[in-house]
Structure 1
Amino acid sequence: MELINSVTGADEEGRSRQRILTFAAKSAIQRNPEDYDALYNWALVLQESADNVNPDSTSPSKDALLEEACKKYNEATRLCPTLHDAFYNWAIAISDRAKMRGRTKEAEELWKQATQNYEKAVQLNWNSPQALNNWGLALQELSAIVPAREKQTIVRIAISKFRAAIQLQFDFHRAIYNLGTVLYGLAEDTLRTGGATNPEDVSPDEFYSQSAIYIAAAHALKPNYSVYSSALRLVHSMLPLPYLKVGYLTAPPAGEPVAPHIDWKRSQYVLNHEGLQQVNKLEQKQVQNLLGGPDVTNSEKRAIKVDVPDIVSVSACADLTLPPGSGLCIDTIHGPFFLVADSWESLDGWLDAIRLVYTIYARGKSEVLADYKIFGIA
């Protein structure tokens, strides 16, 4: 109560409310020391009080309030190990403590504790994109502190958390943006260490391109967010304009989804706000020239074209009718299209890009992707 009473920065009404809530929680604990709900509520009040501490205040310190909150969360989860909200908010409190310590060994330990609590929260409640996103952010912070030999492993785990958050909520623009930023950092690190050393490794340019796709998608979903606009100006040149994504997929002849494997051909595909389209040989030269020439997207020679409004679902698939590799199924109102990506990592990129384009279309924001002036090319 002493800590609550000495908080400066909140208005008197807010302090009064926090004192009442703290008194209620304390009274409940006195009546029943194993009342984990009361402990959880007490921790929430302490955490809220920490948020209200005046930045210039030294008494009480924000850290002291957060430390007390963590103790209450610890006790609440000891009494009720399935209290996922407590693990989630506990992780936030630990993260806030870690942020105050910069890039120190103490901060490293706190970030590790935060990731462990986010992991527990997700295990208890897997349908939480916010917890997955925060877990990815904590891992990203941790990767900036650990020795270089550990960094890339942690970054790749962070990428998987952001991607999992997006798969739960396709329009979760914060996770989409965060995935773009972590991929940009990975591109920078890969370039700094000499680039891809094996043919199967992803090149820095590919990481940059992937980063640009997510940042462009976040901007399309929230075009008024200045941070997204600023990031897009940085990465716009990394997009294969006028497309969002360009790459290779293996497909059967048009109209023959169960053709013999020998008849499946690997060719170039482009994705924009209208859909996924196969590139013919004439257009392929233009695409390979960084798409600097005229747009010829109306060619009738394409064997495969999937319009965004026709998409029902997009998923990875494993089927004996497909050639070996990373299978991709785009189910449409006209029936399914089966394709095979070059690798599982490439497949993830295609899945996310197609889903994001569809999500942007479903939210009525396709015109933002269509207006290439936002990418700074005009």
Structure 2
Amino acid sequence: MEDSAQPKPADSSSELANGSEAVPPTGEAPASAAEEVVVGRDSTTRSVIPSDAEANGTLGAEGEGSRPFTMRELLGELKDGREAASGRSAVAEGNGVGSAGAEGQSQDSLQFTSHHDVAMDLINSVTGVDEEGRSRQRILSFAAKRYVSAIERNPEDPDAYYNWALVLQESADNVDPDSNSSKDSLLEEACKKYAEATQLCPTLYDAYYNWAIAIADRAKMRGRTKEAEELWKQAIMNYDKAVQLNWNSPQALNNWGLGLQELSAIVPARDKQTIIKTAINKFRSAIQLQFDFHRAIYNLGTVLYGLAEDTMRSAGPDVSPNDLYSQSAIYVAAAHALKPNYSVYRSALRLVRSMLPLPYLKAGYLTAPPADNTIAPHKHWERLQFVLNHEGLQQANASESPPSKSHGHAGRSKKCIKVDVADIVSVSPCSDLTLPPGAGLCINTIHGPLFLVADTWESLDGWLDAIRLVYTIFARGKSDVLAGIITG
């Protein structure tokens, strides 16, 4: 998660500042969940939310050279190295052999001042706001000198440039919040180092990813200006490159979606809808890679909410804003069920809960075969109303039907179709000539497959997401939280 504020998806939403969770006032759109920063090649993440795991790892031997470290590795190892260096200097002076060390330090100092002096001056000018911040910044300054020295020895080392960029980016986080110019200058220098790293190693995924976040941070300082628009476009290009290099990265897809969401608030109205739809696809792709990725789930809810607001204002005849509001509420409810202790999710849920088809999470129409004949001819299939709650999917009148005397196929009774969430094995789209026209949906259960047909492929996406989210919440043991949301 980034430390800086997240602008809202709709014109009236609140922000997240410095990693804290803002509570949107009543009537405002829910704020977006902030980004995560990958800080090492092991694809672990750094987040300012305390409950999230930070990057961790173990340093190898010195023979590994200047491989890219996670920030926790970097700071821990450099702190130890700095203390060890201080100890060696004291011993040398006590033994009367300090002159050689002093000469070496003098040569290093000449190198530092004659090369890359702009970046070094920026790092050395940062002072933390408290003792912990000052200590951290001293370590970062020591780290910068280490990577300058590594580049002096080997100008073709992409990892040294990458690690140096991380130091600059981390130093930007230590800048006084009122000093945007210093932060921007550090981030600009970090971007230059990421550029050099990727020129030397075009497949360095983490460099493109963190480079995009550094650009995004610079864009946020510029509000809704033309310069900010260009920076957001650059950040999006780097997220695109990162995903090309590592398609299995839900964090990159989530951040890509956030970048598009921010860009949509700046571009002309004629371009906004296309960008918003692309952002929806990125958030949905992130969720498909990691079904319990609550930030992407929540962000998808916020972007749909913003789209509903825009649709309401434009009064477009083809799209119902109520449907979009209802879809938005599904994702916000799911994010809250997965992370009920997050105040921003809880506050957003209060705003959108009434938009759900309570006491259900989702309601809509699907074309289904007769409950007692799943291979019936197309003419016997009917378009029926279905509802989804924390227990499963069923026909709208299922609760009124008598229970089956046997364990029917896919858990169905004689008169209706019902699928318990505990029985679900997988959910997927399907295209089969044996199904009636439309968007096919296959729910594999322990009793066998159940085939249904949605009206459109867009409608199918909503059903797929909703069923998968309900199952994920069930699998994470949070069904009681979801039940509380929809039953009140």
For 2:279 and 2:463, locate their aligned partners in 1 and report how far apart those are by CA, in whole Å: 19
Residue pair 1:278, 1:302 contacting (<8 A) in 2 also = no
Q: Of 274, 293, 313, which residue of structure 2 is paired with 1:172?
A: 293
For 1:51 and 1:366, locate their aligned partners in 2 and report how far apart those are by CA, in whole Å: 38
Equivalent residue letter for 2:269:
A
Flag the 1:266–1:28 CA change in 2: closer, same or farther, 3 A: same
Equivalent residue letter for 2:221:
M
Flag the 1:305–1:82 CA change in 2: closer, same or farther, 3 A: same
Pairs within 5 Å for 1:318-333: 318-333=431-446
For 2:256 and 2:324, locate their aligned partners in 1 and report how far apart those are by CA, in whole Å: 21
Equivalent residue letter for 1:249:
L
After TM superposition, the runs of 4+ consecutive aligned structure 1 residues lying more than 4 A away are 296-302
Q: Of 365, 368, 386, which residue of structure 2 is paired with 1:269?
A: 386
**Residue in structure 1 matched with residue 467 of structure 2 by the alignment:** 354
Partner-residue secondary structure (3-state), 1:371:
helix
**Residue in structure 2 matched with residue 25 of structure 1 by the alignment:** 147
Structure with the greater alpha carbon radius of gyration: 2
What is the Cα deviation at residue 168 of structure 1? 0.5
Aligned length: 356
**Residue in structure 1 matched with residue 178 of structure 2 by the alignment:** 56
For 1:191 and 1:256, locate their aligned partners in 2 and report how far apart those are by CA, in whole Å: 43
Residue pair 1:279, 1:302 contacting (<8 A) in 2 also = no
Equivalent residue letter for 1:34:
E
Partner-residue secondary structure (3-state), 2:435:
coil
For 1:262 and 1:36, locate their aligned partners in 2 and report how far apart those are by CA, in whole Å: 64
Flag the 1:29–1:259 CA change in 2: closer, same or farther, 3 A: same
What is the Cα deviation at residue 256 of structure 1? 2.8
**Residue in structure 2 matched with residue 204 of structure 1 by the alignment:** 321
**Residue in structure 1 matched with residue 226 of structure 2 by the alignment:** 105
Pairs within 5 Å for 1:153-192: 153-192=274-313
Percent identity over the alignment? 76
The more displaced of 24-33 and 70-79 is: 24-33
For 2:290 and 2:473, locate their aligned partners in 1 and report how far apart those are by CA, in whole Å: 12
For 1:172 and 1:205, locate their aligned partners in 2 and report how far apart those are by CA, in whole Å: 26
**Residue in structure 2 matched with residue 369 of structure 1 by the alignment:** 482
After superposition, the C-alpha distances for 1:121-149 in whole angstroms (9 at most, x for unaligned) are 00100010011000000000000000000
What is the Cα deviation at residue 9 of structure 1? 2.0
Flag the 1:7–1:268 CA change in 2: closer, same or farther, 3 A: same
What is the Cα deviation at residue 299 of structure 1? 5.1
The more displaced of 64-73 and 4-13 is: 4-13
Residue pair 2:137, 2:174 contacting (<8 A) in 1 also = no
What is the Cα deviation at residue 4 of structure 1? 0.8
For 1:302 and 1:16, locate their aligned partners in 2 and report how far apart those are by CA, in whole Å: 72
TM-score w.r.t. length of structure 2: 0.71
The more displaced of 251-260 and 266-275 is: 251-260
Q: Which runs of 5+ in 1 are unaligned?
A: 284-295
What is the Cα deviation at residue 16 of structure 1? 2.2
Partner-residue secondary structure (3-state), 2:178:
coil
What is the Cα deviation at residue 42 of structure 1? 0.5
Which structure exhibits the higher relative contact order, with contacts defined as CA atoms closer than 8 Å and separated by 6 or more residues? 2
For 2:356 and 2:167, locate their aligned partners in 1 and report how far apart those are by CA, in whole Å: 46
Partner-residue secondary structure (3-state), 1:328:
strand
What is the Cα deviation at residue 29 of structure 1? 1.1
Residue pair 2:128, 2:137 contacting (<8 A) in 1 also = no
Q: Which runs of 5+ in 2 are unaligned?
A: 1-119, 404-413
After superposition, the C-alpha distances for 1:92-145 in whole angstroms (9 at most, x for unaligned) are 000000000000000000000011100110010001001100000000000000
Equivalent residue letter for 1:9:
G
**Residue in structure 2 matched with residue 288 of structure 1 by the alignment:** none
The CA RMSD over aligned residues, in Å, is 1.5
Equivalent residue letter for 1:66:
L
Q: Is 1:85 aligned to 2:198, yes or no?
A: no
Residue pair 1:8, 1:57 contacting (<8 A) in 2 also = no
Residue pair 1:40, 1:76 contacting (<8 A) in 2 also = yes
Q: Of 331, 337, 343, which residue of structure 1 is paired with 2:456?
A: 343
Residue pair 1:277, 1:302 contacting (<8 A) in 2 also = no
What is the Cα deviation at residue 334 of structure 1? 0.5
Partner-residue secondary structure (3-state), 1:269:
strand
For 2:258 and 2:187, locate their aligned partners in 1 and report how far apart those are by CA, in whole Å: 19
Q: Of 311, 331, 343, which residue of structure 2 is paired with 1:214?
A: 331
Equivalent residue letter for 1:273:
H
Residue pair 2:215, 2:231 contacting (<8 A) in 1 also = yes
For 2:211 and 2:457, locate their aligned partners in 1 and report how far apart those are by CA, in whole Å: 35
Equivalent residue letter for 1:239:
L
TM-score w.r.t. length of structure 1: 0.91
Flag the 1:226–1:348 CA change in 2: closer, same or farther, 3 A: same
Residue pair 1:269, 1:276 contacting (<8 A) in 2 also = yes
Q: Of 257, 273, 277, which residue of structure 2 is paired with 1:136?
A: 257
For 1:124 and 1:117, locate their aligned partners in 2 and report how far apart those are by CA, in whole Å: 11
After superposition, the C-alpha distances for 1:58-101 in whole angstroms (9 at most, x for unaligned) are 6x710000000000101111111111110000000000000000
What is the Cα deviation at residue 13 of structure 1? 2.2
For 1:142 and 1:251, locate their aligned partners in 2 and report how far apart those are by CA, in whole Å: 41
Partner-residue secondary structure (3-state), 2:267:
coil
